[in-house]
Structure 1
Amino acid sequence: MMMTTIQNQIKAAALKEPKTVEQQFLKLSEEVGEAAQAYLAAMKVSGNDYKQLTKVDVQEELVDVLLVTYAILYKLDISDEALNALLTQKVTKWLSHQKH
C-alpha cells in the first residue's frame, strides 16, 4: 500500500521526536485523558460543562492520541508494510465480531 503525503509527514515527525518510547507512553496517557475531558465537557456532564468544549475539540484531542500512537509505533521500528498488515488484521477481526 502506498503511503499518502500526510502519512509520510506523520512518520517523518515521529522519527524526529526526541522523547523516548517511555516518555511517549506517558504522553499517550496524557492525551487520552485530555480526550476524555474534552468529551465530558462537550457532553455537558456535570462539573465539566463550564469548559464549553465541542465535538470538534474532542476530535482534535483524539487526533493527538493517534499521532502519539503512530510516533510510538515508528519508534518501535514498525515498517509501513507491517503497520498496514496489522491494521488490516485488526480491522478484519473487529468487523468479524460485529453483528450485522
Structure 2
Amino acid sequence: MIDLMNQIRLAAEQEPKTVSQQFLKLMEEVGESSQAYLSSQNASGSGYKQLTTANTKEELADVLLVTLAILHKLDTSDAELETLLTTKTEKWLRKQDPSASKKG
C-alpha cells in the first residue's frame, strides 16, 4: 500500500491541473460514478448505458484518486491524513450508533 501511495503522490505532483481545476474534475468523477450506479440498477432513463457495478467501482476509484491528489496538492502529510480519516470515521460511527454518543 505504501508503494501505491507513493505512485499516487507522484501522479499528483505531475498533474498540471490547479487545485480548483481538480475540484471540478472531482465533481465530474462523482457524476460519472452516479451515472454508472444508476445504470447498473436499471434506473429510469439510465439503463441504455448498460453500465455495471464494476463500472461503478472504477469510477469510485477515480473519485478516490482525484481526492488524494487534491489532498496532496494541499500539502496534507500522511500523518495528517490518518488523523483526518480517523477523526471522521469515529464521528461517522457515532452517528450510526446513537447509543455511542451517550457513552462519550
Q: TM-score, normalised by structure 2?
A: 0.89
Deviates further, 23-32 or 89-98: 89-98
Q: Which residue of structure 2 aligns with residue 24 of structure 1?
A: 22
Unmatched 5+ stretches in structure 2: 100-104
Structure 2 residue 93 is matched with structure 1 residue 95:
yes
The 5 Å alignment of 1:1-100 reads 4-99=2-97
Q: Which has the higher contact order (CA 8 A, sep 6+)?
A: 1
Distance across 2 between alignment mates of 1:93 and 1:9: 30
| Larger Rg, first or second structure (1 or 2) | 2
Task: Give the CA deviation at 1:51.
Answer: 0.9
**Structure 1: which 5+ residue stretches go unaligned?**
none
- Normalised by the length of structure 1, the TM-score is 0.92
Deviation of 1:94 after TM superposition, in Å, equals 0.9
Identity of aligned residues (%): 60
Q: CA RMSD for the aligned pairs? A: 1.3
State the shift of 1:69 in Å. Answer: 0.5
1:29-61 CA-partner distances (Å, limit 9, x unpaired) = 100110011011000011110111110000000
Count of aligned pairs between the two proteins: 98
